Amino acid sequence: MPTFPPWTYRRFSLIGIVCLGLTGCLAPLSLDGQAAALGLRKFYVSGQGFTHLVYAKGEPCARGKLHVYLEGDGLAWLPGNRIAADPTPRHSCVLPLMAVDPAPAIYLGRPCYHGLAKAAGCHPGLWTQKRYSETVLASMLTALKGIVGARPCRPVLIGYSGGGTLAMLMAQRLPQTVTGVVTLAGNLDVAAWARLHGYTPLYGSLDPATLPPLPPAIFQIHLAGESDDNIPAALIRKEASRQPGAKFWMLPRHAHTCPEKKLWPGILAAISGLEAKRLAKAAPFVRLNR
């Protein structure tokens, strides 16, 4: 068993989940309630061997756009170095951001999260050491392709914390279709982050810092909290600096959190501007499901 401390969300307690017959275990009511209060609709989509929960706003790929929101690593660990039975976060920081986004948007859940931890193929490694593994990445990509189908669509991937890691990894696999990547306190150098905290390396996980930079045609914005002691701004700035044309923005007084809601409309406006420029220059569309 790994010896490193719990992930960022050690302050959260384990949440009960509801299991209903053939549907299996449903997402914790707190997260479902948050999504419902924001007017988001919920459905499930198949990935590569796993089921993924999705919350959606608007019609995916309307006007060729889709903003894909990716959550952080959630409740991977409990106090006392105990692995959580269900890694689902108790509260989402990206759902409120998605709700005010004028673009068509989805929240794409990870394998084994949202009450699905006991589903076939799931094991604790997929939310601990292998949280960014090829297994997780392949299923996330398959799920996204299933949502998009044959529709022309150029997604922007928006990831918080470990969701930023996945956003970078997914963009590596979709260089001809992804328009942009936006990370919020993103873990862009997994090995450096583990060394900083004295954690056991995430054996079995992929690391964006070991991969080639993304193509210049994919715009990048990397946001860092000035007071973030989990993923310090210096780590994010260093990785952003090797990405062609990437923008690094410091958020004053922010710790390891999503941007304050009052800041998000301005950030969305910047995303929209970069997205419009990239779409105007885009090469002929290559479908995600190829």
pLDDT at 27 (0 to 100): 42
DSSP letter for 27, please.
P
pLDDT at 78 (0 to 100): 84
- For domain 18-281, is the CATH number 3.40.50.12280? no
Mutual angle of helices 190-197 and 233-241, in 10-degree steps: 160
Tokens (6 digits) for 155? 């997604």
State pLDDT tens for residues 92-122. Answer: 999 999 999 999 999 999 999 999 999 999 9
Concatenated DSSP letters of 227-288: T-SSS-HHHHHHHHHTSTT-EEEEETT--SSPPPTTTHHHHHHHHHHHHHHHHHHPPSP--T
pLDDT at 283 (0 to 100): 62
Q: What is the Cα–Cα distance from 108 to 134, expressed in whole angstroms?
A: 17
Q: What is the Cα–Cα distance from 155 to 68, expressed in whole angstroms?
A: 7
pLDDT at 284 (0 to 100): 58
pLDDT at 279 (0 to 100): 86
Q: What is the Cα–Cα distance from 190 to 86, expressed in whole angstroms?
A: 22
- C-alpha closest to that of 161 among 77, 230, 61: 230
pLDDT at 25 (0 to 100): 41
State the alpha helices, DSSP H only, in the chain: 29-37, 94-99, 134-148, 162-173, 190-197, 233-241, 264-281
Question: In the chain, which residues have pLDDT < 70?
Answer: 1-29, 283-290
Residue 32: what residue type?
D
pLDDT at 7 (0 to 100): 26
Give me the residue spans of the domains in the chain: 18-281
